[in-house]
Amino acid sequence: MEIESLGFRTDLLLLSMGGSEVHDTGAYVVARTPANPGFWWGNFLLYRTPFAPGGAKRRIDDFRREFPEAQHVALGVDSTDGEVGVEDELTAAGLTVERSVVMTAQQVVQPQRPNEQSTFRFLSSDDDWEQMYHHNLACAEMEVDSAYEEFTRRKLVTNRARVDAGHGKWFGAFDGDRLQSSLGLIFDGNGLARFQSVLTSPEDRGRGLAGTLVHHASTYGLTRAKTLVIVADPDYLAIRIYRAVGFTDAETQLQFIVPPA
């Protein structure tokens, strides 16, 4: 299965490693995660071409047919240039366009103001991973309800399984035994390593933790891979942190969402 987008290529790799089903129908690729049906980007369709006139409705219908129980719609386009197609039709169909920056690095530099107070290490114990669950909830950008708690718990189980299977590592910054910042780094075995979920607890922001942790994990990652990949929101401050340690913009990743009603 040929996927041009480095962002989606590594997304599908991570899903496959976590037990998701990935199937190429020819017209589109189906990514399905039965263990976590509320995971939008574990249950989506990836198309190979931008939206043509009339395509929004057809693609939403495809999604509804593939995922009849889903409360969301999630569609991707396998491109690198950010070309959407008929954007006015997408808006009329209720689709929100999300553009992310796919960034890469073959070498990294230390942040200008590294954090020297915290301890940076792998997550290892049951307590570390249980803290990770609560850490994810504390960093949520949305209202945390029972459905989001269940989604977070299931995603945590999958992430730990990837680490336990030897596919990567999860890193944390700690004040004593308290988790402050975290991220994952997963390897494809062929020279690529993909970052996952760079998070810092609200009370610990502004201390240089994220930049120091990204540099720490990158230094480790480049002992096992040639190219590091991270996907960032172009409008969020974290992208400046990644650029400061040596990541450069490589592609634009396109995702289209109709959230649950």
Averages of pLDDT over each 10 residues, the chain, 261 residues: 94 95 96 95 96 93 97 96 86 93 98 96 97 96 92 95 96 97 96 97 96 98 98 94 97 95 81
Put simply, whether the predicted model's pTM sits higher than 0.85 gets the answer yes
CATH of 119-245 given 3.40.630.30, 3.30.360.10, 3.30.9.10, 3.40.1160.10: 3.40.630.30
Sheet holding 248-258, edge to edge: 21-24, 28-32, 44-47, 73-77, 248-258, 96-105, 227-232, 192-200, 178-187, 168-175, 119-122
Task: Look up residue 174 and give its two tokens.
Answer: 């700690």
Q: Tell the residue number behind the tokens 């995922």, with chain if given.
A: 67
pLDDT of residue 157: 96
Distance CA 152, CA 134 (A): 9
What count of Cα atoms within 13 Å lies in the side-chain half-sphere of residue 84? Answer: 17
- CATH code 3.40.630.30 region(s) in the chain: 119-245
Residue 135 CB neighbour total at 10 angstroms: 24
